[in-house]
Structure 1
Amino acid sequence: MSTTRDKQRTTYRTCLHILLLATALGARAQPVSDAPESLWARATLYRDEWGTPHVYADDPRALAFAFGYAQAEDHIEPMLMAYRIAKGRAAEVLGESHAASDEYAVMMGHAE
């Protein structure tokens, strides 16, 4: 009987150590997102006479933010439609003809 109890204690201690390690590593991680204001302070986006975006930045994170912003300015409607299709909500705006693709997206777990 003590062997079963020892196994339970060992399992409990192992789980506790893993949890503590994960917590410690998570606490050391840097924040994933910066505030947009601080990213804009490190990036410049301007458009030339043909509307082509030109992005300059001090670091890759600010560059990616400004580039994504320019893409959203140019292509927000297709991006939002792709999001709706992936979430299984295209029929809300495109009609019942898209109900089957919505069902498929939900069935495949894309909506999660």
Structure 2
Amino acid sequence: MSDSLWGYQPSCGHTAGIDLTGYSVEATDGSIGKVDKHSDKVGSACLLVDTGVWIFGKHVLLPAGTVKRIDPEDRKVHVELTKEQVKNSPEFDRQRQTEDPAYHEQLSAYYLAYRIM
């Protein structure tokens, strides 16, 4: 993985400027939803994923460092997390937390526990 959880891994196939909105998001054990919004911002790159009915319409913010592979042909983003790990992630509040440093710290602590070196 990249040195920062908030940056894409060089090997994941991410191309700066590509629009990932609408891509399906796949955990290691199945689908978790679709990319609702994403950011390539240096130091805070992330995906906002709409989980749909899977976990009652919850949105989750996934740091870009959790992305294992992007498949533009199939329009899929594969993350190095299980469905359960995503389901148990810190609650996301779209109005407050997209750029909130404290929330990013909370997410970092959560996802770093699952980071594969």
TM-score (normalised: structure 2): 0.20
Higher relative contact order (CA 8 A, sep 6+): 2
Where is the helix percentage greater, Structure 1 or Structure 2?
1
TM-score (normalised: structure 1): 0.21
